[in-house]
Amino acid sequence: MHQYIVYTAYGWLTLTGSLHFIVDVVSQYLRGKREPGLETTLYYGLNAAFSLGQVAFGLLGLFLAWRAMHLLSETPVLILSVATALGWLAITFLFMEYWEPKFNVGIFCLLIVAAFVTR
């Protein structure tokens, strides 16, 4: 059970990070929804860094799950994942006004806690 939850957690993070980048950065840029300026630069920078960070961390987690599942059962790695998830959750509450990133990171938090409990 632990193995499936770990794959689901990091797969979820990779999927939602990719979709967040496509929806909030690429599609808005291609449609020209925001006028050029400092606020637009900060918006694209925040969302690009946030989503691509999730994709990178999710891919790293999937790679570790595929090659060395025993590492993802260790307490320090799970605590690092929880700390990362709480950091992303703090970023969403402080800097993002819409609810979707909060929801996605919240699900990742729950999955990591479930992985911690089922190890």
pLDDT of residue 83: 96
Q: How far is CA 32 from CA 24, 26, 29, 63, in A?
A: 12, 10, 5, 36
What local confidence, expressed as pLDDT, does residue 37 receive? 92
What was the pLDDT predicted at 116?
A: 94
Cβ pair 2, 115 in contact under 8 A: yes
Predicted local distance difference test score (pLDDT) of residue 119: 86
DSSP character at residue 118: T
Residue-level pLDDT at 18? 98
Q: Give the predicted TM-score (pTM) of the model.
A: 0.91
- Low-confidence stretches of the chain (pLDDT < 70) are none
Pick from 13, 37, 16, 33: nearest CA to 25: 33
Predicted confidence at residue 15, as pLDDT, reads 98
